[in-house]
Structure 1
């Protein structure tokens, strides 16, 4: 087959690419993933009875803010990874900064706390179940995030899957705040991070299979 014939065949039936397709897919993914996570929390765990009072507690908003900051950076990073040749750029710093800040705060609080209080600050009452709960709650968001990226053109499949999983993990952590009784910075700096790392690892494992095109 001649080159001109091949080009003509490939171009036959070609249509313009839909504008803002990535934004639309990630918008749907965020909406569906968040609704799914909320459904798991509300039906499977229940919301804290004092949640209305917590809305006036600054520490609660700090607890919400750090996974929210990671979620924004993860969303921006995975959207760029879904486009061939698009650099992630400064969003790597956006991912690392809130994680570093919360760990610095946790270490400082543990250092300043009386020795007898350190174990409680780190383990709280729910350390055995917290990370698993976050990972379970994030499953709808993980499926939605991988669906969104699959419709694009990622080339670094394992990395893209991992960041999609991290985005899902942050959604799981954010919605779990409605249930979690723990308010210690060292606790959620440790067990929330582990919980977010589980869907991150799952995304890295699934990426080469699910995102291949």
Structure 2
């Protein structure tokens, strides 16, 4: 009798298409990322030298670091969204990326004049930079969490953390178009802090909202 009941209940089940679920997550991130871009323009506006900033190495360093963290966090999120999913290489890649950035920051500081060293580390916006990244990353985090509720992560906390890193990287990438700081160590410290805060928020939300 029990076997018959199970057979009847499972007969109408349709397989979930992984690519369709992945597209759902990507769509949620893209839409919420556009919300973050609009919010940044209304709140902070583009940096004053946006016309010439792309000619500098630091502009592309910020652009590349934040975008790479967002993409790698996205790969980790997609992997961890599955019941048997595991993600190792995205975390290793993010670690290598952070180490390379710190090495580049150390080189930049060694080349700088003594009076220029602290501005390259602290800048003029270190107290607000991480929190601006958090604010701009929140729409992406919420969109990702809502999409992940359709998945079945084996570790909701870690999946939420991955989504937070993806969202934090996206928020940092959006913020980089408003930020005029030119220090690699500033980027390594304060941008990374903002990304990690969003990651922590994602872990908390994932623990409570992604359980199944």
Q: TM-score, normalised by structure 2?
A: 0.93
Structure 2, gaps ≥5 residues long = none
Residues 1-213 of structure 1 aligned to structure 2 (within 5 Å): 2-18=1-17, 20-213=19-212
Give 1:19 deviation, angstroms: 5.1
- Deviation string, structure 1 residues 63-95 (Cα, Å, up to 9, x no partner): 100111111211111101011222213222122
Instruction: Return the alpha-carbon distance in structure 1 between the equivalents of residues 92 and 193 of structure 2.
Output: 20
The answer (yes or no) to whether the contact 1:74–1:164 under 8 Å persists in 2 is: yes
- Deviation string, structure 1 residues 144-199 (Cα, Å, up to 9, x no partner): 11122221110111111111001000010000011111111111111101111111
- Kindly tell me the number of residue pairs found equivalent between the two proteins: 212
Instruction: Return the alpha-carbon distance in structure 2 between the equivalents of residues 211 and 120 of structure 1.
Output: 42
> What stretches of structure 1 move > 4 A for 4+ residues in a row?
none
Is 6-15 or 54-63 further displaced after alignment? 6-15
Structure 1, gaps ≥5 residues long = none
Instruction: Return the alpha-carbon distance in structure 2 between the equivalents of residues 21 and 208 of structure 1.
Output: 24
- Deviation string, structure 1 residues 91-140 (Cα, Å, up to 9, x no partner): 22122111111112123323443433221111111111111111111110
Q: TM-score, normalised by structure 1?
A: 0.92
Instruction: Return the alpha-carbon distance in structure 2 between the equivalents of residues 91 and 61 of structure 1.
Output: 21
SS at match of 1:97: helix
- Deviation string, structure 1 residues 25-50 (Cα, Å, up to 9, x no partner): 12212211210110110111111232
| Pair 89,194 (structure 1): closer, same or farther in 2 beyond 3 Å | closer
The answer (yes or no) to whether the contact 2:168–2:196 under 8 Å persists in 1 is: yes
Instruction: Return the alpha-carbon distance in structure 2 between the equivalents of residues 118 and 90 of structure 1.
Output: 34
The answer (yes or no) to whether the contact 1:30–1:141 under 8 Å persists in 2 is: yes
SS at match of 1:55: helix
RMSD of the alignment, in Å? 1.6
